[in-house]
Amino acid sequence: MTGARWTAWSGSATSRWRSGAARMVPETRNTPRRATERLAESPVPGRWGWGARAGPVQRRAARRAGFPVADAHLPLLPRPALAGGEHHMEPELQIRPDDHVRGSARARLTLLEYGDYECPFCARAFVAIHEAQRALGPDLRFVFRNLPLTETHPYALPAAQVAEAADLQERFWQMHAALYIHQSEFSPETFVSLALEVGLDLDQLEQDVGSEEVLRRIQRDLRSAETLQLQGTPSLFINGRPYRGSYADGALTLALEQLLRSGDPISP
């Protein structure tokens, strides 16, 4: 691509993204239904240019978790905080064939997250989940679903679209990580640099990112979140039970390890 063509292409796409993002202003309480309604307003990205860098806080977190995302300083709970009482697996929490899954179906524990790529707490959870995956290995399966809170996070929905479009090129998890790593740098220019970084075909991405298939995938997750009456992110479930604990200082990993030691009978 020539420099002139790139400049014209990037500038036009950036204008479209920014005009779309400007329409995503707070009006009502964040709900999956409101996010679903805003899919109709979502900007359709074309090509972008970028130059995102991780900041000092992100670099500090990298020393511990290997990823330069926002550091986590949440209060610890004295023990794993799982919803008590008799357990019944909600149908919406059953793992679907088209879910984004890392890990074996034979894993003893399944961690499911409803997340927002612009949510700072989700970035902290991202670090904690990565640590847990390294610690538990084949005993942990991780599943991610989209819950973009568009009322407060104007780039959450575009980021979800980019991630789902990346999945069509078999690069979902690479883009998933890149989005959280560079969360503080979100802009139209950021998304194209990340696409190049993870090896996406930009022409294909431009076609896919606003496609019916990509929007259908996000709507599917939003309908699921609405059925579960989820109101915030991240919403985490371990083997179908809500996790209410901390993400800081290895708390999530500890909770998962304790469940393994206890021989938790609940299967995903």
Query: Count of H helices and E strands in the chain?
Result: 10, 5
Looking at the DSSP assignment, which residues form a beta bridge with residue 127? none
Instruction: Please state the separation of Cα 30 from the chain's center in Å.
Output: 17
- Token digits of residue 163: 């991630």
Label residues 174-207 b or e (16+ Cβ within 10 Å = b): bbbbbbbbbbbbbbbbbbbbbbeebebeeeebbe
Nearest to 131 by CA among 254, 243, 233: 254
Torsion sign, CA atoms 127, 129, 135, 141: negative
- 251: confidence class by pLDDT, cuts 50, 70, 90: very high
pLDDT for 21: 37
Residue 169 sits at φ, ψ, to 5 deg, of -110, 20
Bond prior to 234 in cis (omega within 30° of 0): yes
pLDDT for 8: 40
Q: What is the pTM of this model?
A: 0.71
Q: Are 124 and 247 in contact (CB under 8 A)?
A: yes
DSSP 82: B
Nearest to 84 by CA among 243, 251, 224: 243
Count, residues in the chain:
268
Give CA–CA dist 175/159, Å, rounded. Answer: 9
| Domains along the sequence of the chain with CATH | 61-78+98-261 (3.40.30.10)
pLDDT single digits (tens) 147-178 = 999 989 999 999 999 999 999 999 999 999 99
Mean pLDDT of the chain: 75
pLDDT for 88: 58
Q: Are 252 and 113 in contact (CB under 8 A)?
A: no
Instruction: Please state the separation of Cα 140 from the chain's center in Å.
Output: 18
Q: Are 212 and 89 in contact (CB under 8 A)?
A: no
Largest distance between two CA atoms of the chain: 63
Does residue 1 register a pLDDT over 90? no
Stretch 223-247: mean pLDDT: 93
- 208: confidence class by pLDDT, cuts 50, 70, 90: very high
